Amino acid sequence: MTIDLKENEVKQNRFLTDKFAEIIKAMGANQVDKTYRTAPYDVTTYQTTHLNGGAIMGADPTTSAVNRYLQSWDVSNLFVLGASAFPQNAGYNPTLTVGALAYWAADAIRSKYLKNPGRLVDA
């Protein structure tokens, strides 16, 4: 996979960086240091943030949104795939874990849920 910044993304970054600086100054900052992203993309100067959370996976429906199969505790025909199941990012790139959980959920949907729709985990 090749990732690079296109001309429009570089322009968008410059525009947004300037707007953010204006907002920060209006909030009372004494000094604002701006750094614009430039092409080509360079992983050594910018690391992405891997946002997680929002539909936390767990064993208890009172403290989590989805069960171990990423199935909603409240709506049995709703499966939430993705990094939203994690309470926070455990480290770098959660892609492999997300993929493994998606495979796990898809297998459970196919082998369990479709044969007997309903909650896959009793709590």
Question: Would you please indicate which residues are annotated as catalytic (active-site) residues?
Answer: 50
Question: What is the rounded distance in angstroms from the CA atom of residue 5 to the CA atom of residue 47?
Answer: 14
The upper half-sphere exposure of residue 1, i.e. CA atoms within 13 Å in the direction of its Cβ, equals 1
Which residue type does 111 have?
S
Question: What is the rounded distance in angstroms from the CA atom of residue 117 to the CA atom of residue 99?
Answer: 23
